[in-house]
Amino acid sequence: MLKQPDAPRMIEVQDLHKSFGPVEVLKGVSLVARKGQVISLIGASGSGKSTFLRCINFLERPSRGRIVIGNEELVMEPRTDGNLHAVDARQLMRLRTQLGMVFQNFNLWQHMTVLQNVMEAPVHVLKLSRAEAKERAMHYLSKVGVSEKMDAYPATLSGGQQQRVAIARALSNEPSLLLADEPTGNLDTRTSIDIMGVFQKLNDLGMTIVMVTHELDIAQYTKRMVVMRDGKVVGDTLVSNRLRAETELRRLQEEEKAAQLTS
């Protein structure tokens, strides 16, 4: 069992603020994620969950605060637009490759096959050879259980399969931290548990995950719940009796079988 206080910090965010015009959406959010944790960020719609995740990844520029990834602080300076800008584009790029991002709506490139989607960043960002990138892509596709779909186009896949591909694509950079915004948002219950099973398997192998969800029952599959309200963290608790996806899927299957027998 991982002793949490001893595990290294994968990310530390301090007093993060974000305003859109006059509206302050994040009002000083701090979070430390340690190696091996799976954190769910929960909270009502509009509480700032996505904005927070997007600021961590610098898809959105924060207005104030500090972001440390691993042991390295992202160097930022305030500009006249009221936001912090990264000072060194190369540092930003380097730190960003340590973060994998999974979006709610998968965001796969529709004109590319599954394999091409997953090879894209290793070839163009990490500059791996095509052969190395292909080997890596196949490795992660098989890890999330969709390698047989390597030549398919995203539109021909189910939602759950597309989300698996999106997770493989995020993993293909070999990030130290996986960020996911509502990874089960568009999926039915069984597929949602299935995706949580993928995350649990990755976590068992050492991956640290921060995911947004507004579903409390999905948060029960994570190890720690951080609750946001109106742009602030208002709760931070460990999940006791964490659900295991494998067990819950088996239970669902048995329930369905029993229902069929009695009908």
Ligand X SMILES: Nc1ncnc2c1ncn2[C@@H]1O[C@H](COP(=O)(O)OP(=O)(O)OP(=O)(O)O)[C@@H](O)[C@H]1O
Where along the sequence are the contacts to Mg ion (CB under 5 A)? 50
- The verdict on 213 binding ligand X (CB under 6 A) reads no
- The verdict on 224 binding ligand X (CB under 6 A) reads no
Q: Which segment (44-52, 75-83, 118-126, 253-261) binds ligand X by CB under 6 A? A: 44-52
- The verdict on 47 binding ligand X (CB under 6 A) reads yes
Task: Please check whether residue 228 is in contact with residue 52, taking contact to mean a CB–CB distance below 8 angstroms.
Answer: yes
Q: Where are the alpha helices (DSSP H) in the chain?
A: 49-56, 89-96, 114-124, 130-143, 159-171, 189-204, 216-219, 245-262
Least distance (Å) between residue 49 CB and Mg ion: 5
Residue 68 tokens read as 């440390």
Q: Which segment (27-35, 46-54, 157-165, 191-199) binds ligand X by CB under 6 A? A: 46-54
Strand bridging mode 9-20 / 76-78: unpaired
DSSP character for 189? H
Least distance (Å) between residue 104 CB and Mg ion: 7
Which of 76, 90, 67, 83 minimizes the C-alpha distance to 177? 67
- The verdict on 51 binding ligand X (CB under 6 A) reads yes
Least distance (Å) between residue 218 CB and Mg ion: 14
Burial class (CB in 10 A: 0-12, 13-18, 19+), 16: buried
Query: 122 or 183: whose CB is closer to ligand X?
Result: 183
Contact map string, positions 21 to 40, toward ligand X, x by CB under 6 A? ----x---------------
- The verdict on 102 binding ligand X (CB under 6 A) reads no
Residue 125 backbone phi and psi in degrees, to 5: -100, -50
Interaction site with ligand X (CB under 6 A): 20, 25, 43, 45-51, 214
